[in-house]
Structure 1
Protein backbone atom coordinates (compact mmCIF):
# COMPACT_ATOMS: atom_id res chain seq x y z
CA UNK A 1 0.00 0.00 0.00
CA UNK A 2 1.11 3.54 -0.73
CA UNK A 3 -1.76 5.37 0.94
CA UNK A 4 0.70 7.74 2.68
CA UNK A 5 2.47 8.86 -0.50
CA UNK A 6 3.48 12.50 -0.23
CA UNK A 7 2.44 12.73 3.43
CA UNK A 8 4.53 13.86 6.38
CA UNK A 9 4.25 12.14 9.74
CA UNK A 10 5.72 12.60 13.19
CA UNK A 11 5.88 9.82 15.81
CA UNK A 12 6.75 10.52 19.43
CA UNK A 13 8.47 7.80 21.43
CA UNK A 14 9.48 6.44 18.06
CA UNK A 15 12.90 4.94 18.78
CA UNK A 16 11.63 1.56 19.96
CA UNK A 17 8.61 -0.67 20.50
CA UNK A 18 5.25 0.47 19.14
CA UNK A 19 6.59 3.84 18.06
CA UNK A 20 9.45 2.40 16.03
CA UNK A 21 7.19 -0.16 14.36
CA UNK A 22 4.73 2.61 13.49
CA UNK A 23 7.37 4.94 12.08
CA UNK A 24 8.80 2.21 9.89
CA UNK A 25 5.37 1.12 8.67
CA UNK A 26 4.34 4.67 7.73
CA UNK A 27 7.64 5.15 5.90
CA UNK A 28 7.13 1.85 4.10
CA UNK A 29 3.74 3.04 2.93
CA UNK A 30 5.08 6.23 1.42
CA UNK A 31 5.29 8.85 4.17
CA UNK A 32 8.26 10.93 5.17
CA UNK A 33 8.57 10.28 8.88
CA UNK A 34 10.20 12.08 11.78
CA UNK A 35 10.76 10.44 15.15
CA UNK A 36 10.92 12.23 18.49
CA UNK A 37 12.45 10.42 21.44
CA UNK A 38 14.54 11.02 24.54
CA UNK A 39 17.28 8.97 22.87
CA UNK A 40 16.86 8.70 19.10
CA UNK A 41 20.42 7.46 18.52
CA UNK A 42 19.25 4.06 17.23
CA UNK A 43 16.96 5.54 14.58
CA UNK A 44 18.17 4.96 11.02
CA UNK A 45 17.34 6.45 7.63
CA UNK A 46 14.93 6.97 5.99
CA UNK A 47 13.50 8.07 9.36
CA UNK A 48 14.50 11.51 10.63
CA UNK A 49 15.40 11.60 14.33
CA UNK A 50 15.11 14.36 16.93
CA UNK A 51 15.83 14.37 20.65
CA UNK A 52 12.95 15.73 22.73
CA UNK A 53 11.59 15.47 26.25
CA UNK A 54 7.79 15.58 26.23
CA UNK A 55 7.80 17.02 29.77
CA UNK A 56 9.66 20.11 28.50
CA UNK A 57 7.52 22.42 26.38
CA UNK A 58 10.49 24.26 24.87
CA UNK A 59 12.13 20.96 23.91
CA UNK A 60 8.92 19.76 22.24
CA UNK A 61 8.35 22.97 20.31
CA UNK A 62 11.95 23.12 19.10
CA UNK A 63 12.00 19.48 17.96
CA UNK A 64 8.65 19.64 16.19
CA UNK A 65 9.55 22.87 14.42
CA UNK A 66 12.81 21.33 13.20
CA UNK A 67 11.10 18.12 12.14
CA UNK A 68 8.39 19.90 10.18
CA UNK A 69 11.00 22.01 8.39
CA UNK A 70 13.15 19.01 7.52
CA UNK A 71 10.18 16.98 6.32
CA UNK A 72 9.50 19.66 3.71
CA UNK A 73 6.07 20.75 2.61
CA UNK A 74 6.24 24.38 3.69
CA UNK A 75 5.16 23.88 7.27
CA UNK A 76 2.59 21.15 6.64
CA UNK A 77 2.28 18.11 8.90
CA UNK A 78 -0.26 15.43 7.97
CA UNK A 79 -0.01 12.88 10.79
CA UNK A 80 0.89 13.09 14.48
CA UNK A 81 1.22 9.85 16.44
CA UNK A 82 1.31 10.61 20.17
CA UNK A 83 3.01 7.45 21.38
CA UNK A 84 5.54 8.58 24.01
CA UNK A 85 4.67 7.20 27.42
CA UNK A 86 5.94 5.40 30.51
CA UNK A 87 4.59 2.63 32.69
CA UNK A 88 3.80 2.39 36.39
CA UNK A 89 2.95 -0.41 38.79
CA UNK A 90 1.15 -0.60 42.09
CA UNK A 91 -2.08 0.22 43.88
CA UNK A 92 -3.02 3.74 44.96
CA UNK A 93 -0.91 3.19 48.09
CA UNK A 94 2.29 2.29 46.30
CA UNK A 95 3.25 5.50 44.49
CA UNK A 96 3.87 8.86 46.12
CA UNK A 97 2.70 12.23 44.82
CA UNK A 98 5.94 12.80 42.91
CA UNK A 99 5.50 9.58 40.92
CA UNK A 100 1.86 10.42 40.14
CA UNK A 101 2.93 13.82 38.85
CA UNK A 102 5.80 12.30 36.84
CA UNK A 103 3.68 9.69 35.05
CA UNK A 104 0.78 12.02 34.34
CA UNK A 105 3.23 14.66 33.08
CA UNK A 106 4.61 12.23 30.50
CA UNK A 107 1.53 10.23 29.55
CA UNK A 108 -1.09 12.98 29.52
CA UNK A 109 0.42 16.46 29.58
CA UNK A 110 3.23 15.32 27.30
CA UNK A 111 0.61 14.40 24.72
CA UNK A 112 -0.94 17.84 25.15
CA UNK A 113 2.41 19.56 24.60
CA UNK A 114 3.13 17.64 21.40
CA UNK A 115 -0.35 18.20 20.00
CA UNK A 116 -0.30 21.88 20.87
CA UNK A 117 2.98 22.37 19.02
CA UNK A 118 1.84 20.35 16.00
CA UNK A 119 -1.65 21.82 15.55
CA UNK A 120 -0.67 24.85 13.43
CA UNK A 121 1.05 22.49 10.98
CA UNK A 122 -1.79 19.97 11.00
CA UNK A 123 -4.28 22.74 10.21
CA UNK A 124 -2.34 23.35 6.98
CA UNK A 125 -2.98 19.76 5.83
CA UNK A 126 -6.00 18.50 3.90
CA UNK A 127 -5.45 15.00 5.33
CA UNK A 128 -4.67 15.73 8.96
CA UNK A 129 -4.89 12.96 11.55
CA UNK A 130 -3.81 12.47 15.14
CA UNK A 131 -3.55 9.01 16.69
CA UNK A 132 -2.95 8.65 20.43
CA UNK A 133 -1.55 5.48 21.97
CA UNK A 134 -3.82 4.60 24.88
CA UNK A 135 -4.25 1.17 26.56
CA UNK A 136 -6.65 -1.58 27.55
CA UNK A 137 -5.97 -0.21 31.05
CA UNK A 138 -8.29 2.69 30.19
CA UNK A 139 -11.31 0.38 30.08
CA UNK A 140 -10.42 -2.73 32.09
CA UNK A 141 -9.63 -2.86 35.79
CA UNK A 142 -6.16 -4.41 35.93
CA UNK A 143 -4.44 -5.24 39.23
CA UNK A 144 -1.36 -3.24 40.24
CA UNK A 145 -1.96 -0.58 37.57
CA UNK A 146 -3.79 2.24 39.42
CA UNK A 147 -1.53 5.09 38.31
CA UNK A 148 -0.99 3.76 34.79
CA UNK A 149 -4.72 3.15 34.34
CA UNK A 150 -5.56 6.66 35.53
CA UNK A 151 -3.17 8.15 32.99
CA UNK A 152 -4.54 6.06 30.12
CA UNK A 153 -8.15 6.73 31.12
CA UNK A 154 -7.27 10.40 30.79
CA UNK A 155 -5.76 9.77 27.34
CA UNK A 156 -8.95 8.11 26.11
CA UNK A 157 -11.12 10.98 27.35
CA UNK A 158 -8.65 13.50 25.95
CA UNK A 159 -8.85 11.78 22.56
CA UNK A 160 -12.63 12.17 22.39
CA UNK A 161 -12.47 15.80 23.50
CA UNK A 162 -9.78 16.59 20.92
CA UNK A 163 -11.82 14.89 18.21
CA UNK A 164 -14.78 17.13 19.03
CA UNK A 165 -12.64 20.26 19.18
CA UNK A 166 -10.90 19.79 15.86
CA UNK A 167 -13.30 17.89 13.59
CA UNK A 168 -14.50 21.08 11.93
CA UNK A 169 -10.90 22.03 11.22
CA UNK A 170 -10.53 18.83 9.22
CA UNK A 171 -8.32 17.14 11.83
CA UNK A 172 -9.32 13.61 12.77
CA UNK A 173 -8.39 12.31 16.24
CA UNK A 174 -8.51 8.66 17.30
CA UNK A 175 -6.72 6.34 19.70
CA UNK A 176 -5.60 2.74 19.87
CA UNK A 177 -5.97 0.67 23.05
CA UNK A 178 -3.37 -2.09 22.95
CA UNK A 179 -3.47 -5.05 25.27
CA UNK A 180 -0.20 -6.44 26.60
CA UNK A 181 2.37 -5.81 23.88
CA UNK A 182 5.72 -7.57 23.61
CA UNK A 183 7.79 -4.40 24.07
CA UNK A 184 11.07 -3.63 25.90
CA UNK A 185 9.05 -2.33 28.90
CA UNK A 186 7.19 -5.62 29.25
CA UNK A 187 10.48 -7.48 28.88
CA UNK A 188 11.91 -5.50 31.80
CA UNK A 189 8.85 -6.27 33.94
CA UNK A 190 9.21 -9.95 33.17
CA UNK A 191 12.91 -9.93 33.96
CA UNK A 192 12.15 -8.43 37.37
CA UNK A 193 9.47 -11.02 38.22
CA UNK A 194 10.18 -13.85 40.66
CA UNK A 195 9.26 -16.35 37.95
CA UNK A 196 9.55 -14.67 34.51
CA UNK A 197 8.27 -17.72 32.63
CA UNK A 198 5.16 -18.01 34.81
CA UNK A 199 4.51 -14.28 34.54
CA UNK A 200 4.76 -14.38 30.73
CA UNK A 201 2.38 -17.34 30.65
CA UNK A 202 -0.11 -15.43 32.80
CA UNK A 203 0.06 -12.39 30.52
CA UNK A 204 -0.50 -14.58 27.47
CA UNK A 205 -3.43 -16.35 29.07
CA UNK A 206 -5.10 -13.05 29.98
CA UNK A 207 -5.68 -12.33 26.27
CA UNK A 208 -8.18 -14.60 24.48
CA UNK A 209 -5.77 -15.17 21.58
CA UNK A 210 -3.37 -16.76 24.08
CA UNK A 211 -0.40 -14.61 23.15
CA UNK A 212 1.00 -11.12 23.52
CA UNK A 213 0.21 -8.44 20.95
CA UNK A 214 3.10 -7.54 18.66
CA UNK A 215 4.28 -3.95 18.07
CA UNK A 216 3.63 -4.47 14.35
CA UNK A 217 -0.03 -5.25 15.02
CA UNK A 218 -0.47 -2.02 16.97
CA UNK A 219 1.39 -0.13 14.26
CA UNK A 220 -1.03 -1.55 11.69
CA UNK A 221 -3.99 -0.23 13.68
CA UNK A 222 -2.38 3.19 14.03
CA UNK A 223 -1.72 3.33 10.29
CA UNK A 224 -5.33 2.36 9.61
CA UNK A 225 -6.61 5.27 11.71
CA UNK A 226 -4.09 7.74 10.29
CA UNK A 227 -4.63 6.77 6.65
CA UNK A 228 -6.63 9.02 4.30
CA UNK A 229 -8.57 5.84 3.49
CA UNK A 230 -10.15 6.25 6.95
CA UNK A 231 -11.25 9.80 6.30
CA UNK A 232 -14.67 9.31 7.95
CA UNK A 233 -13.21 7.88 11.16
CA UNK A 234 -12.76 10.23 14.11
CA UNK A 235 -13.43 10.00 17.84
CA UNK A 236 -12.85 6.24 17.65
CA UNK A 237 -11.19 3.98 20.22
CA UNK A 238 -9.71 0.93 18.49
CA UNK A 239 -8.83 -2.02 20.74
CA UNK A 240 -5.80 -4.08 19.69
CA UNK A 241 -5.84 -6.52 22.57
CA UNK A 242 -6.42 -10.04 21.34
CA UNK A 243 -10.10 -9.74 22.23
CA UNK A 244 -9.48 -8.89 25.89
CA UNK A 245 -11.94 -6.00 26.05
CA UNK A 246 -14.96 -7.82 24.69
CA UNK A 247 -14.58 -11.60 24.79
CA UNK A 248 -15.46 -13.75 27.78
CA UNK A 249 -14.35 -17.27 26.93
CA UNK A 250 -15.17 -20.36 28.94
CA UNK A 251 -12.14 -22.13 30.39
CA UNK A 252 -10.46 -24.41 27.90
CA UNK A 253 -11.32 -28.07 28.29
CA UNK A 254 -8.56 -30.11 29.85
CA UNK A 255 -7.09 -32.84 27.66
Structure 2
Protein backbone atom coordinates (compact mmCIF):
# COMPACT_ATOMS: atom_id res chain seq x y z
CA UNK A 1 0.00 0.00 0.00
CA UNK A 2 1.19 3.49 -0.75
CA UNK A 3 2.33 5.49 2.24
CA UNK A 4 0.27 8.69 2.42
CA UNK A 5 3.02 10.49 4.32
CA UNK A 6 5.45 9.94 1.44
CA UNK A 7 3.11 11.73 -0.96
CA UNK A 8 1.91 14.48 1.35
CA UNK A 9 3.40 17.23 -0.80
CA UNK A 10 1.73 15.89 -3.93
CA UNK A 11 -1.61 15.30 -2.24
CA UNK A 12 -1.80 18.57 -0.33
CA UNK A 13 -5.05 20.33 -1.14
CA UNK A 14 -6.55 17.33 -2.95
CA UNK A 15 -9.34 17.02 -0.41
CA UNK A 16 -10.42 18.35 2.95
CA UNK A 17 -12.02 16.94 6.08
CA UNK A 18 -15.47 18.40 6.74
CA UNK A 19 -16.68 18.71 10.29
CA UNK A 20 -19.01 16.21 11.91
CA UNK A 21 -21.18 17.16 14.87
CA UNK A 22 -22.59 13.94 16.41
CA UNK A 23 -26.15 14.08 17.69
CA UNK A 24 -27.14 10.45 18.43
CA UNK A 25 -29.16 10.14 15.22
CA UNK A 26 -28.58 6.36 15.20
CA UNK A 27 -28.69 5.66 18.93
CA UNK A 28 -29.73 2.08 19.62
CA UNK A 29 -29.47 0.98 15.99
CA UNK A 30 -27.38 -1.90 14.68
CA UNK A 31 -25.56 -1.04 11.47
CA UNK A 32 -23.80 -3.44 9.09
CA UNK A 33 -21.01 -1.92 7.00
CA UNK A 34 -19.27 -4.02 4.36
CA UNK A 35 -15.78 -3.14 3.18
CA UNK A 36 -15.12 -1.41 6.50
CA UNK A 37 -11.38 -1.99 6.86
CA UNK A 38 -10.18 1.23 5.26
CA UNK A 39 -11.16 4.27 3.22
CA UNK A 40 -14.84 5.16 3.00
CA UNK A 41 -15.95 2.04 4.87
CA UNK A 42 -13.75 2.74 7.88
CA UNK A 43 -14.73 6.41 7.97
CA UNK A 44 -18.41 5.46 7.71
CA UNK A 45 -17.92 3.17 10.70
CA UNK A 46 -16.45 6.06 12.69
CA UNK A 47 -19.23 8.47 11.75
CA UNK A 48 -22.15 6.09 12.37
CA UNK A 49 -20.59 4.83 15.60
CA UNK A 50 -20.28 8.44 16.78
CA UNK A 51 -24.03 8.77 16.14
CA UNK A 52 -24.73 6.03 18.69
CA UNK A 53 -24.93 2.93 16.49
CA UNK A 54 -23.54 -0.52 17.21
CA UNK A 55 -21.47 -1.14 14.08
CA UNK A 56 -20.88 -4.58 12.60
CA UNK A 57 -17.76 -4.47 10.43
CA UNK A 58 -17.16 -6.67 7.40
CA UNK A 59 -13.99 -6.87 5.34
CA UNK A 60 -11.44 -9.30 3.98
CA UNK A 61 -8.54 -8.34 6.26
CA UNK A 62 -9.13 -9.08 9.95
CA UNK A 63 -6.18 -6.93 11.07
CA UNK A 64 -7.60 -3.82 9.43
CA UNK A 65 -11.03 -4.43 10.91
CA UNK A 66 -9.57 -5.00 14.36
CA UNK A 67 -7.66 -1.72 14.08
CA UNK A 68 -10.88 0.15 13.32
CA UNK A 69 -12.66 -1.67 16.15
CA UNK A 70 -9.88 -0.80 18.60
CA UNK A 71 -10.25 2.84 17.65
CA UNK A 72 -14.01 2.75 18.26
CA UNK A 73 -13.85 0.81 21.53
CA UNK A 74 -17.38 -0.25 22.48
CA UNK A 75 -20.48 -1.03 20.39
CA UNK A 76 -18.52 -2.73 17.62
CA UNK A 77 -18.40 -6.28 16.26
CA UNK A 78 -15.88 -7.58 13.73
CA UNK A 79 -17.05 -10.29 11.32
CA UNK A 80 -14.44 -10.68 8.56
CA UNK A 81 -15.34 -12.53 5.40
CA UNK A 82 -15.93 -12.48 1.65
CA UNK A 83 -19.18 -10.89 0.45
CA UNK A 84 -19.13 -13.16 -2.59
CA UNK A 85 -19.49 -16.19 -0.28
CA UNK A 86 -23.19 -16.82 0.34
CA UNK A 87 -22.55 -19.12 3.31
CA UNK A 88 -20.56 -16.36 4.98
CA UNK A 89 -23.28 -13.79 4.21
CA UNK A 90 -25.86 -16.02 5.88
CA UNK A 91 -23.70 -16.17 9.02
CA UNK A 92 -23.13 -12.42 8.92
CA UNK A 93 -26.85 -11.72 8.61
CA UNK A 94 -27.75 -14.13 11.42
CA UNK A 95 -25.17 -12.67 13.80
CA UNK A 96 -25.95 -9.04 12.99
CA UNK A 97 -29.68 -9.54 13.45
CA UNK A 98 -29.09 -11.25 16.77
CA UNK A 99 -27.05 -8.25 17.91
CA UNK A 100 -29.87 -5.96 16.80
CA UNK A 101 -32.58 -7.86 18.65
CA UNK A 102 -33.94 -9.49 15.50
CA UNK A 103 -33.22 -6.88 12.86
CA UNK A 104 -30.56 -4.56 11.49
CA UNK A 105 -31.51 -0.89 11.36
CA UNK A 106 -29.08 0.19 8.65
CA UNK A 107 -27.18 -1.71 5.97
CA UNK A 108 -24.31 0.00 4.16
CA UNK A 109 -23.25 -2.00 1.09
CA UNK A 110 -19.79 -0.55 0.59
CA UNK A 111 -17.61 -3.55 -0.34
CA UNK A 112 -16.15 -3.42 -3.82
CA UNK A 113 -13.13 -2.59 -5.92
CA UNK A 114 -12.27 -0.30 -8.81
CA UNK A 115 -11.34 -2.83 -11.47
CA UNK A 116 -10.13 -1.34 -14.74
CA UNK A 117 -10.23 -2.99 -18.14
CA UNK A 118 -11.10 -2.02 -21.70
CA UNK A 119 -13.67 -3.90 -23.75
CA UNK A 120 -10.91 -6.03 -25.26
CA UNK A 121 -9.76 -6.98 -21.76
CA UNK A 122 -13.25 -7.77 -20.46
CA UNK A 123 -13.36 -11.55 -20.56
CA UNK A 124 -16.40 -13.43 -19.25
CA UNK A 125 -14.54 -14.30 -16.04
CA UNK A 126 -13.35 -10.72 -15.55
CA UNK A 127 -16.82 -9.32 -16.08
CA UNK A 128 -18.63 -11.80 -13.86
CA UNK A 129 -16.14 -11.61 -10.99
CA UNK A 130 -16.42 -7.81 -10.97
CA UNK A 131 -20.22 -7.93 -10.91
CA UNK A 132 -20.13 -10.64 -8.23
CA UNK A 133 -18.01 -8.47 -5.93
CA UNK A 134 -19.42 -5.01 -6.64
CA UNK A 135 -23.08 -5.87 -7.09
CA UNK A 136 -24.27 -9.38 -6.30
CA UNK A 137 -22.78 -9.45 -2.80
CA UNK A 138 -24.83 -6.38 -1.95
CA UNK A 139 -27.97 -7.85 -3.49
CA UNK A 140 -27.65 -11.10 -1.56
CA UNK A 141 -26.92 -9.45 1.80
CA UNK A 142 -29.87 -7.12 1.26
CA UNK A 143 -32.05 -10.15 0.47
CA UNK A 144 -31.08 -11.67 3.81
CA UNK A 145 -31.54 -8.55 5.95
CA UNK A 146 -34.49 -6.77 4.33
CA UNK A 147 -37.30 -9.13 5.48
CA UNK A 148 -36.79 -8.29 9.17
CA UNK A 149 -36.63 -4.59 8.30
CA UNK A 150 -39.91 -4.90 6.44
CA UNK A 151 -41.52 -6.77 9.32
CA UNK A 152 -40.47 -4.00 11.70
CA UNK A 153 -41.51 -1.40 9.11
CA UNK A 154 -38.25 0.43 9.66
CA UNK A 155 -34.86 0.40 7.99
CA UNK A 156 -32.44 2.13 5.68
CA UNK A 157 -30.19 0.58 3.04
CA UNK A 158 -27.38 2.67 1.56
CA UNK A 159 -25.53 1.31 -1.47
CA UNK A 160 -22.15 2.58 -2.62
CA UNK A 161 -22.42 3.23 -6.34
CA UNK A 162 -20.27 5.67 -8.34
CA UNK A 163 -20.55 8.63 -10.68
CA UNK A 164 -19.58 6.12 -13.37
CA UNK A 165 -23.14 4.84 -13.05
CA UNK A 166 -24.31 8.32 -14.08
CA UNK A 167 -21.51 9.40 -16.44
CA UNK A 168 -19.67 6.33 -17.74
CA UNK A 169 -15.95 5.62 -17.56
CA UNK A 170 -13.96 4.44 -20.56
CA UNK A 171 -11.48 1.68 -19.84
CA UNK A 172 -13.53 0.23 -17.00
CA UNK A 173 -16.33 -1.66 -18.69
CA UNK A 174 -17.10 -4.24 -16.01
CA UNK A 175 -16.72 -1.75 -13.16
CA UNK A 176 -19.04 0.77 -14.81
CA UNK A 177 -21.60 -1.95 -15.50
CA UNK A 178 -21.48 -3.14 -11.89
CA UNK A 179 -22.01 0.38 -10.53
CA UNK A 180 -24.79 1.14 -13.00
CA UNK A 181 -26.34 -2.09 -11.81
CA UNK A 182 -26.05 -0.89 -8.21
CA UNK A 183 -27.95 2.27 -9.07
CA UNK A 184 -30.61 0.23 -10.87
CA UNK A 185 -30.96 -2.19 -7.96
CA UNK A 186 -31.25 0.76 -5.58
CA UNK A 187 -34.18 2.20 -7.51
CA UNK A 188 -35.90 -1.16 -7.97
CA UNK A 189 -35.65 -1.98 -4.27
CA UNK A 190 -36.73 1.52 -3.28
CA UNK A 191 -40.02 0.92 -5.07
CA UNK A 192 -40.40 -2.64 -3.74
CA UNK A 193 -39.65 -1.82 -0.10
CA UNK A 194 -41.25 1.62 0.21
CA UNK A 195 -44.63 0.20 1.33
CA UNK A 196 -42.81 -1.27 4.35
CA UNK A 197 -41.14 2.04 5.29
CA UNK A 198 -37.73 0.69 4.30
CA UNK A 199 -35.69 3.20 2.33
CA UNK A 200 -33.01 2.36 -0.26
CA UNK A 201 -30.61 4.99 -1.58
CA UNK A 202 -27.19 5.15 -3.22
CA UNK A 203 -24.14 7.34 -2.79
CA UNK A 204 -22.29 8.03 -6.05
CA UNK A 205 -18.75 9.23 -5.29
CA UNK A 206 -16.31 10.62 -7.79
CA UNK A 207 -12.58 10.17 -7.24
CA UNK A 208 -11.91 9.79 -3.52
CA UNK A 209 -8.67 10.56 -1.70
CA UNK A 210 -8.12 7.06 -0.28
CA UNK A 211 -5.33 4.45 -0.21
CA UNK A 212 -6.82 2.84 -3.33
CA UNK A 213 -6.41 6.14 -5.20
CA UNK A 214 -2.84 6.60 -3.90
CA UNK A 215 -1.86 3.13 -5.07
CA UNK A 216 -3.20 3.73 -8.57
CA UNK A 217 -1.60 7.18 -8.81
CA UNK A 218 1.81 6.04 -7.62
CA UNK A 219 1.83 3.30 -10.24
CA UNK A 220 1.75 5.99 -12.95
CA UNK A 221 4.97 7.19 -14.64
CA UNK A 222 4.53 10.67 -13.13
CA UNK A 223 2.48 10.59 -9.89
CA UNK A 224 2.68 14.38 -9.48
CA UNK A 225 1.20 14.97 -12.93
CA UNK A 226 -1.46 12.36 -12.22
CA UNK A 227 -2.52 14.08 -8.97
CA UNK A 228 -2.64 17.43 -10.78
CA UNK A 229 -4.83 15.90 -13.49
CA UNK A 230 -7.20 14.36 -10.94
CA UNK A 231 -7.70 17.70 -9.22
CA UNK A 232 -8.09 19.63 -12.48
CA UNK A 233 -10.95 17.36 -13.58
CA UNK A 234 -13.05 18.31 -10.57
CA UNK A 235 -15.13 21.52 -10.84
CA UNK A 236 -14.45 22.19 -7.14
CA UNK A 237 -10.72 21.63 -7.74
CA UNK A 238 -10.31 18.87 -5.16
CA UNK A 239 -11.14 15.23 -4.61
CA UNK A 240 -13.76 13.85 -2.29
CA UNK A 241 -12.50 12.84 1.12
CA UNK A 242 -13.63 9.64 2.78
CA UNK A 243 -15.52 11.78 5.26
CA UNK A 244 -17.41 13.58 2.47
CA UNK A 245 -18.78 10.19 1.45
CA UNK A 246 -19.36 8.97 5.01
CA UNK A 247 -21.40 12.06 5.86
CA UNK A 248 -23.55 11.43 2.78
CA UNK A 249 -24.10 7.87 4.03
CA UNK A 250 -25.06 9.24 7.45
CA UNK A 251 -27.62 11.57 5.92
CA UNK A 252 -29.25 8.75 3.93
CA UNK A 253 -29.08 6.31 6.85
CA UNK A 254 -30.55 8.66 9.44
CA UNK A 255 -34.05 10.02 10.08
CA UNK A 256 -32.88 13.29 8.48
CA UNK A 257 -33.77 11.70 5.12
CA UNK A 258 -36.96 9.99 6.27
CA UNK A 259 -38.87 10.87 3.07
CA UNK A 260 -36.03 10.16 0.63
CA UNK A 261 -35.80 6.83 -1.18
CA UNK A 262 -34.55 5.78 -4.59
CA UNK A 263 -32.01 8.61 -4.71
CA UNK A 264 -28.58 8.33 -6.32
CA UNK A 265 -26.66 11.11 -4.56
CA UNK A 266 -23.51 12.33 -6.33
CA UNK A 267 -20.62 13.19 -4.02
CA UNK A 268 -18.21 14.39 -6.67
CA UNK A 269 -17.89 18.17 -6.52
CA UNK A 270 -19.94 18.48 -9.71
CA UNK A 271 -17.92 16.08 -11.85
CA UNK A 272 -21.01 14.28 -13.16
CA UNK A 273 -22.32 17.48 -14.77
CA UNK A 274 -19.00 18.88 -16.00
TM-score if structure 2 supplies the norm length?
0.86
Segments of 5+ residues of structure 1 without an aligned counterpart are 249-255
For 2:58, the equivalent position in structure 1 comes to 36
**Does the C-alpha gap of structure 1 residues 9 and 30 become closer, same or farther in structure 2, counting only changes over 3 Å?**
same
For 2:31 and 2:115, the matched residues in 1 are separated by: 28
Partner Cα distance (2:192, 2:180) in 1: 19
User: Are residue 118 (structure 1) and residue 140 (structure 2) matched?
Assistant: no
Residues 120-129 or 48-57, more deviating: 120-129
Q: Is the 8 A contact 1:209 1:243 kept in 2?
A: yes
Task: Return the offset for 1:120.
Answer: 2.7
Indicate whether 1:224 and 2:251 are aligned. yes
Tell me whether 147-156 or 183-192 shows the greater mean CA deviation. Answer: 183-192
Decide whether aligned partners of structure 1 residues 125 and 217 sit closer, same or farther in structure 2, where only a CA change above 3 A counts. Answer: farther
Q: For 1:230-245, list aligned pairs within 5 A.
A: 230-245=257-272
1:61-101 Cα shifts (integer Å, max 9, x gaps): 112211222x34x2121100000011111211123221111
Q: Specify the alignment match of 1:58 in structure 2.
A: 87
Structure 1 residue 26: Cα displacement: 0.4
Q: Distance in 1 between matches of 2:180 and 2:54?
A: 31
Relative to structure 2, which stretch is displaced further, 92-101 or 39-48?
A: 39-48
CA RMSD of aligned residues (A): 1.3
Cα shift at 1:147: 1.6
Give yes or no for the alignment of 1:155 onto 2:182.
yes
Higher RCO (CA 8 Å, separation ≥ 6 residues): 2
Matched with 2:229 is 202
Q: Distance in 2 between matches of 1:198 and 1:160?
A: 38
Partner of 2:45: 23
Aligned pairs for 1:40-119 within 5 A: 40-43=62-65, 44=69, 45-46=73-74, 47-69=76-98, 71-72=99-100, 74-119=101-146
| CA apart distance, 1:125 | 3.8
Instruction: Name the CA distance, whole Å, in 2 between partners of 1:153 and 1:204.
Output: 24
How many residues in Structure 1 have an aligned counterpart in Structure 2? 245
Provide structure 2 residue ranges, at least 5 long, that are not aligned to the other structure: 1-22
More helix by share: 2
Aligned to 2:33: 11
Q: Which aligned pairs between 1:160-199 and structure 2 lie closer than 5 A?
A: 160-199=187-226
> Does the CA-based 8 Å contact 1:76-1:121 persist in structure 2?
yes
C-alpha deviation, 1:126, in angstroms: 4.4
Q: CA deviation at 1:218?
A: 0.2
2: CA distance, partners of 1:25 / 1:152? 24
Quote how far apart the aligned CAs of 1:124 are: 4.2
